[in-house]
Amino acid sequence: MKSPTARRRITTIAGVAALGITAILGSSSAALAAPQDYGNIDPDRTGSITVHKYLNQAGSATGDVSQAPAAGDFTDPVAGVEFTVYPLLKSGSAVDLTVPANWNGLDALTPGAACTAPAGYTLGTPTVMPLTSANGSATADSLPVGLYQVCETAAPANIIEKSLPFILTIPLPYENGWVYDTHAYPKNGAGSIEKTIEPQQDYGLGSTVKFPVTVPVSRMAQAWTGFAIRDTLDTRLTPAAAADIAVTADGTALDPSFYTISVSGQQITMNFTAAGIAWLNEGPNAHVGAEIQVVFAGVVNAVVDGVIPNTAQFWPNNPGFDPSTNPPLDSPVVHTNWGDLQITKRAVGTSGATGTLAGAEFEIYAAADPYAADCSAATAAGSPISVGGKTSFTSDSSGVISLTGLFVSDSVNPAIDSTQRCYVLKETAAPAGYVLPSNPFTPVAVRVGDTTSDNIEIENTQQGVPQLPLTGGSGQVLLIAGGVAALAVAVGLVLMRARRQAKESA
């Protein structure tokens, strides 16, 4: 997956060119310059070595050992590379090139492995050249007449394969004459690794995060011996199964016989097989530019501070994964951001520890506009979100519901590294004796790594019940009416008795 905001690239160098005496005598596409001297070697004269460092060229042009390249001869100079010049010693002494016999066999000399001396020779006191400049060049001068080995001894972090050592003489035989100030052209291949994050599809703890990592096949002057891409996930991510890791070349599924996927602890590795290496080496750079992409994946199992970083590595020509011989190239760091939400359920009109309610049930939804500046008007979208494997959450004996692990943002997709994301709570069941709010939806803001300032309280009102006697207006009216009636009866009885007594007296 590619997008202008999502993809990040680090350009790297894969050093490949080996220069022996015959190799640096290659012809140039331009006219050759004349030698600097003819006749016998001058043992009192000093010379120099100038290295011109470029990326591998698509054309066939080669450099001229007697002069610097003309503008436009080569492209893509490489700066910041260090070369070291070693005299080659025979029996502990410098090789005397004024002795004819000492030239015998020099054309067959090859450096030893890892810049060791050829068989029968030792390395003398080194001369460290300055770092190659912006135009890719560096010079070691004031070098006595003799036999030398030149090695690439240091390079910037983005150099993923050093140039092979080469051997030359000062002076160098050339066009029936001698070149004392020589020019060498150890070229390199360019490679890169880029890493991004797929837009998040699920938003709660237990969701899968996917990290596509892309490595274009570099232009190489020597054969590939290894090609691996590795991602060591943060402990808050549980690695996906090997079967769930997708590998493509230019967007098409790569032949599964070309690679293996292994998962060891937090480490997921895609490693080319012998068949895959053979495919890379088909023809002269047949697959240069082909984008090998591995989509690594992990399930979020914890949040902690809320920021979960991820870095992948490209291991070129290092089948043993030995960082001391050929360190890997790290991708840019990407990260996903997560937060928590805490809800307190209470009875209306209460505060503190008084009136909290257990048994309220909630769901949480994504917001239709997740990155609104103000979440107070957020509306729910989609289905309930699963957090930690649940979609329904019940307040505990303290009235609290803690939703640990809600996605906020990432470092790649808009809104890049947003500090908050809107969500919507829905109360689906009130505690016994309480009613649901007339609007069960409550907008909330979840912030990166925040568990306290996002706390919200949602109140419930009690259910209505029939009123007890003496506790309301209608009951009191009935009582008063009954009392008046009883009083009237009593008064009537008194009057009747008084009339009877009066008749009896008459």
* Range of weakest confidence among 17-21, 197-201, 266-270: 17-21
**CA 287 to CA 219: how far, in whole Å?**
9
pLDDT, one tens digit per residue, over 230-254 is 999 999 999 999 999 999 999 999 9
C-alpha span between 218 and 241 (Å, rounded)? 29
Predicted TM-score (pTM) above 0.85: no
- When the pLDDT of each residue in the chain is averaged and rounded to a whole number, the result is 85
The beta strand positions in 378-432, using DSSP E, are 380-381, 393-394, 400-410, 420-429
pLDDT of residue 183: 95
Nearest to 206 by CA among 465, 459, 403: 403
Beta pairing, strands 159-161 & 9-15: parallel
Can you spell out the DSSP letters for 158-209?
A: TEEEPPPPEEEEESEEETTEEESEEEE---EEEEEEEE--PPPS--BTT-EE
From start to end of 199-290, where are the E strands?
Answer: 208-216, 227-232, 237-239, 246-249, 252-253, 259-264, 267-272
For residue 438 the two structure tokens come to: 């007339």
- In whole angstroms, what is the distance from residue 213 CA to residue 286 CA? 22
Q: How far apart are CA 239 and CA 259, in angstroms?
A: 19
Give the tokens for residue 106.
Answer: 């020099």
Residue given tokens 């690439």 in the structure block: 152
Report pLDDT digits (tens) over 407-419: 999 999 999 999 9
Buried b (16+ CB within 10 A) or exposed e, 99-136: eeeeeeebeebebeeebebbeebebbeebebeebeeeb
The arithmetic mean of pLDDT across residues 308-337, rounded, is 92
- DSSP letter at 124? -
